[in-house]
């Protein structure tokens, strides 16, 4: 009997050794993700103002829109499953959005790096062995915390902790978990079903 083309979903945990060495395909796909999300960032920057206006009645609620910016870090980590993928994709996406005309200026590169490190931390905590729902949510949490800390330090340092900073962080982390974590994993699994990820462990798991 022929071996199954994909492994059962219980194999979401993989040997750490399989995730340390970068291949050319890993570099190319991570770069493609960074470029694709750079375009998404550009479009989201245009939509951010109009979408945030109705949320002005509760200022911290604007954090619910931040999850889109955390997606490249988590998606790259879930798909490529290599140390550094989250940082690479997130920083490249931020750099591309700057070239496309980001309204935030050069600081966006710092955000891309910090958000990438935040997402990377979620995978590091699992030692790059697990890439299922738990890890997706964990990476979403750590990515959301990273950008919340940066926002609260750079832009909201004089605002009340309980009145703004804490609820803003909660909304940002919630958005990151929902969009970067849950939607991100669903996106990776949808791509896996097409066979486009056959070169990756993410594409050899029965979903």
Q: Which domains does the chain have, with CATH numbers?
A: 22-201 (1.10.1760)
Nearest to 68 by CA among 176, 169, 174, 142: 176
Measured distance CA(64)–CA(56) in Å, rounded: 12
Nearest to 201 by CA among 1, 50, 9: 9
Q: 3: which DSSP letter?
A: P
State percent of the chain over pLDDT 90.
80
Contacting residues for 38 by C-beta, under 8 A, at least 6 apart: 92, 93, 94, 95, 96, 97, 99, 100
Model pLDDT, residue 1: 35
- For the segment 39-53, what is each residue's pLDDT rounded down to a tens digit? 999 999 999 999 999
Confidence of residue 204 (pLDDT cuts 50, 70, 90): low
Measured distance CA(131)–CA(11) in Å, rounded: 9
Task: Pick 8 or 141 by higher pLDDT.
Answer: 141
Confidence of residue 200 (pLDDT cuts 50, 70, 90): confident
pLDDT of 203 above 80? no
Which tokens go with 4?
């199954």
CB burial class (10 A; 0-12, 13-18, 19+) of residue 174? middle
- For the segment 19-35, what is each residue's pLDDT rounded down to a tens digit? 578 999 999 999 999 99
- For the segment 54-109, what is each residue's pLDDT rounded down to a tens digit? 999 999 999 999 999 999 999 999 999 999 999 999 999 999 999 998 888 999 99
pTM: 0.88
């Amino acid at each position: 009997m022929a071996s199954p083309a994909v492994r059962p979903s219980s194999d979401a945990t993989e040997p750490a050794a399989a995730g340390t060495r970068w291949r050319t395909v890993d570099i190319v796909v991570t770069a493609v993700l960074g470029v694709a999300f750079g375009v998404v960032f550009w479009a989201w920057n245009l939509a951010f103002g109009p979408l945030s206006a109705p949320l002005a009645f509760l200022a911290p609620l604007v954090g619910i829109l931040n999850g889109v910016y955390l997606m490249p870090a988590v998606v790259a980590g879930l798909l490529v499953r290599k140390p550094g993928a989250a940082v690479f994709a997130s920083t490249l996406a931020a750099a591309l959005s700057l070239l496309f005309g980001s309204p935030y200026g050069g600081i966006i590169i710092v955000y891309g790096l910090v958000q990438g490190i935040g997402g990377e931390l979620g995978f590091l905590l699992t030692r790059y062995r697990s890439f299922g729902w738990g890890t997706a949510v964990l990476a979403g949490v750590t990515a959301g915390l990273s950008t919340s800390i940066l926002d609260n330090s750079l832009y909201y340092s004089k605002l009340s902790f309980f009145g703004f900073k804490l609820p803003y962080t909660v909304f940002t982390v919630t958005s990151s978990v929902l969009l970067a974590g849950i939607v991100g994993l669903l996106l990776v699994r949808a791509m896996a079903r097409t066979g486009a990820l056959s070169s990756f462990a993410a594409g050899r798991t029965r979903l």
